[in-house]
Structure 1
Amino acid sequence: MAVADPTLRLERALVRAGAAGAAAGSPDAVAAHSGFVIGCDEVGRGALAGPVAVGLCVIDVRRTRSVPKGLRDSKMLSEPRREELAPIAASWGVAHAVGYASADEIDRIGISACLGLAGKRALTELHAVGVDVMAATIILDGHFDWLTPALSTPLTIRTQIKADRDCASVAAASVISKVARDRLMIEHDSIHPPYGWARNKGYASEEHRDALLERGATDLHRRTWLTKLFGDPSRAEGSAA
């Protein structure tokens, strides 16, 4: 069955509701009154190596009419197609950003906290280029709000299951963050070629697992995850040159 193209239907509904609520004096709706929506998605959550990344794409719903042709959740696109769409998605939005949390940070504070940390860093980038993140609604893919606990000032966040599939702003964030993280892992592949990161991007492919068994971990590996995977603390503590 064909999958429908992502749309701005939810983004527009949130802005309309925010405008109506603001007119009625509802403080909870004021953030959406600006017309800005920020799509948010993560990539790299399940990898064994490399950072987790959170992408943001800012859309001015009142000025944006069309969605880039072929835009999809990054998981539904081939790598060449993602590479083609990433700059289109980036220029389509008002602004975009990608934040990261490292493998070491994941080991120290856990994946959920690092999703929030990466998201906070991406929001800081948007703020630095003049985006008023306080006057926007963030659409967060999934049903769990991992972003709010990382923020010192609460923002307006809407969780939405399958937002990366259905909401164009989140699909754009998905593509932008996936391509950015993939390129980072490809760069590291030249430093640690036996792990095949140019092909597996840090995920647990057979090639990657075999290299871990033979050579041990690098400084880009999530060592707490390797302990769980192999059941052998010495494997996680190994250091590849």
Structure 2
Amino acid sequence: PDVPARAAAWVQASGVGWATAAEVDEVGIMRALGLAASRAVLAVVAQGATVENALVLLDGNHDYVSRVHPGPLNVRPVVKADRDCASVSAASVIAKVARDGYMAELHEDHRDYQWDRNKGYASPEHREAIRSFGLSPFHRSSWAIADAPTLF
């Protein structure tokens, strides 16, 4: 089986939460990260998991999800959790593969940005595409990776 399937097999349930570029621009990266994490928790709850007595581990040193989640959560940020905890490692792999797949889908309609190759990271080619073609609706305009106007 492929890597995401093997990673998903490490956990009882998994979910991916998303925040749009517009949400990042509107509420900031940390709140948008919290929204995406909350949506991932809700996706796991939709599969039958309960969070009432669960411990939610976050990779890092900041709890960005509790403030935006609609109910109480027992959250513990852990630096290097993706290195030290199999379920956090699995979540990291699942999220990365989902994001890479999303970028490949975006590439089909926005080939100039080469998202099939750079996955949205600020490679020199990606920066040059932004300079040449401007920002798409999928770019965060609040994140200045190139000096380009927004195309809308």
TM range (shorter): over 0.9
- Aligned pair 1:202/2:120, yes or no? yes
Q: State the match for 1:168 in structure 2.
A: 86
Identity %: 45
Larger Rg: 1
Q: Which has the higher strand share?
A: 1
Q: State the match for 2:4 in structure 1.
A: 86
Q: State the match for 2:66 in structure 1.
A: 148
Please say if residues 136 and 150 of structure 2, whose CA atoms lie closer than 8 Å, have aligned partners that are also in contact: no
Q: Structure 2 unaligned runs (5+)? A: none
CA distance in 2, matches of 1:237, 1:215: 9
TM-score, normalised to structure 2, is 0.94
Q: What are the residue-to-residue correspondences of 1:1-241 with 2, within 5 Å?
A: 84-226=2-144, 229-230=145-146, 232=147, 235-239=148-152
Higher relative contact order, structure no. (Cα contacts within 8 Å, ≥ 6 residues apart): 1
CA distance in 1, matches of 2:108, 2:138: 13
Deviation at 1:92, TM superposition (A): 2.5
How many residue pairs end up in the alignment? 152
- 3-state SS of the aligned residue for 2:2? helix
Question: Partner letter of residue 116 of structure 2?
Answer: A
Please say if residues 10 and 87 of structure 2, whose CA atoms lie closer than 8 Å, have aligned partners that are also in contact: no
Deviation at 1:205, TM superposition (A): 0.4
Q: Structure 1 unaligned runs (5+)? A: 1-82
Moved more, 101-110 or 88-97: 88-97
Structure 1: 4+ residue segments shifted above 3 A: none
TM-score, normalised to structure 1, is 0.60
